Amino acid sequence: MDQSIDPPLIAEIEQALGQVADIRAARVVSSDDGVIQEIHVLASPTKSPKQLVRDIESTIMAQFGIPIDHRTVSIAQLGRDSEPRDPREKGRARVVSVSAEMTGVRASARVSLQLDGDSYSGVAEGPASTTGRQRLIAQATLSAVGEYVHGDFGFALEDVALVTLGRERVAVSCVILVTPQGEQPLAGSAFARQGENESIVRATLDAINRRLNFLTTP
């Protein structure tokens, strides 16, 4: 018997599949009554499609107790030379500029990105606390991305921080992807070798770039 699932569970399944080795992105399509009809996966070419299907079936059964018909799974594998490396690839952002200002107890941040050859800018304002300024950088980044996606889905900042790992300062960003199907947490990081503000932008983009590429591909 088919097991009915709700949109938040679909988002959890997509997140779980995204953690499987060699799977780059996953999208689950359900019927109006909540039955999984299609599972679309974008994967690296290192595993055979049959092995990937078995991994998908095992992951969903082990974590959610839902049996999957292998015929519902569609696998698209990237060519060995087609992994997106150029930051100008569709859905992947290039940092153009980052600026931050303080006026009294208030702060503002502006981030400019290039996506698909076009420029997008985001601005955020708020209290000028240390953590507040870090959040403004990340929020301005997401605001610029929001101009690109035109509201088809959204990214909300959960948290951002600069931490020390060994001898390195690292920016870490946690972002929530919001879609009609529910919410999905995403995380990214970047070394702070080119300045803390830019590292926050890059960590935020690292969190969303792969999902952004998948969601904006027709």
Q: Tell me the domains of the chain and their CATH numbers.
A: 7-77 (3.30.300.30), 94-215 (3.30.160.270)
pLDDT number for residue 2: 53
Q: Average of pLDDT values for 69-94?
A: 66
State pLDDT tens for residues 105-124. Answer: 999 999 999 887 788 999 99
> What is the structure's pLDDT at 35?
85
In the structure, what pLDDT confidence band is assigned to residue 80 with cuts at 50, 70 and 90?
A: very low
- The pLDDT-based confidence of 8 (bands split at 50, 70, 90) is confident
pLDDT by residue (tens digit) across 167-206?
Answer: 889 999 999 998 877 889 999 999 988 789 999 999 999 9
Mean pLDDT computed over every residue of the chain = 84
- Give the closest residue to 18 by CA, choosing from 69, 70, 55: 55
What is the model's pTM?
0.58
Range from 20-29, 81-90, 102-111, 209-218 that averages highest in pLDDT: 102-111
Looking at per-residue pLDDT, the higher value among 94 and 129 belongs to 129
The reported pLDDT for the residue numbered 88 is 40
pLDDT on residue 109:
95
